[in-house]
Structure 1
Amino acid sequence: MMKPGTLILQVAARYLVPLQLLFSVFLLLRGHDEPGGGFIAGLVASGAFAMYLFTFGAAVTRDLMRVDPRNLIGIGLFLGMLSIFPAFFYGDPFLTAQWWDIPLPGGGEFKFSTPLIFDVGVYLTVFGSVMLMLIALTEAEEH
């Protein structure tokens, strides 16, 4: 059975996991204009949960995730495939990016796009894949 991490690691994990997840969302949202994107953001998010996994164990991490990593992989692949269809409906060539301006309260706009949909799909696929691997390895070690 895996021993829990030290007290310092337990306290650090509780504070660092939300910060890492927030940073991964930042990387995801700026990724199609500057360095970053779904892949690196998914790795940062899985790094946050990996720290939690090594600190508290597989069962606690599964409870924290609330979604099976296999489902995240499936949703991510679905979103990646879904991102190709808007170009078809607008009569543009295959995989042409489409952009929509969504007004925000206060007068701003959010530029929603098919590259963002694709990046979110990559994010979920990478995150789910890494977490599935890490949890499987940790559970095999615990038994």
Structure 2
Amino acid sequence: MKTLIFKTASAYLLPLLLLFSVFILLRGHYLPGGGFVGGLMAAIAFVIHSFANGIERTKNIVKFHPGFLMPVGLLLALLAGALPLLFGETFMTGLWMKQAVPVIGSVGTALFFDTGVYLVVIGVTLTIIFTISEGL
């Protein structure tokens, strides 16, 4: 399924789907979406690219092993959950900044937790896909 049309379309779809996955991530603490769905969208972007161009070209885009994203995401999510303990709150209590960030909106620990989940989902999904495709 490596047609010229699919290869050309995948070159445009990769950045668009990654941008859409970030939109879903940022939308998540207000409306449906968040880190899990956004991470799956980002992983799908790389899977489409690998179907069209081959797994080696996709690995060259990623530049590092996607398994590295798993501990980074877990650490970020853990820190976002533990930060309220420093302020005398319970674990996973949402803390919010007083001022809203212009494009993002209200920033709080929920956004950092979702970002950690986003990184873990991308890391797990791409590690599984890359491992399976190497065995073929």
Q: 2:12 is matched with which residue?
A: 15
Matched, 1:64 2:61: yes
- Which structure shows the higher strand fraction? 1
The partner residue of 1:44 within 41, 44, 50 is: 41
User: How many percent of aligned residue pairs carry the same amino acid?
Assistant: 39
Q: CA RMSD for the aligned pairs?
A: 1.6
Cα deviations by residue, 1:51-105 (Å, 9 ceiling, x for unpaired): 011111121111101231110111111111111222111111221111114565x
Distance in 1 between the 2:6 and 2:15 partners?
Answer: 15
The partner residue of 1:27 within 24, 28, 39 is: 24
State the TM-score, normalizing by the size of structure 2. 0.92
Higher radius of gyration, 1 or 2: 1
Q: 2:126 is matched with which residue?
A: 131
Distance in 1 between the 2:64 and 2:118 partners?
Answer: 15
State the TM-score, normalizing by the size of structure 1. 0.88
Contact 1:57 1:138 survives alignment (8 Å): no
Q: 1:114 is matched with which residue?
A: 109
Q: 2:85 is matched with which residue?
A: 88
Distance in 2 between the 1:102 and 1:55 partners?
Answer: 44
Q: Secondary structure at the match of 1:99?
A: coil
Q: Secondary structure at the match of 1:21?
A: helix
Distance in 2 between the 1:86 and 1:140 partners?
Answer: 42
Q: 2:74 is matched with which residue?
A: 77
Distance in 2 between the 1:102 and 1:62 partners?
Answer: 39
Aligned structure 1 segments of 4 or more residues deviating by more than 3 angstroms? 101-104
Gaps of 5+ in 2: none
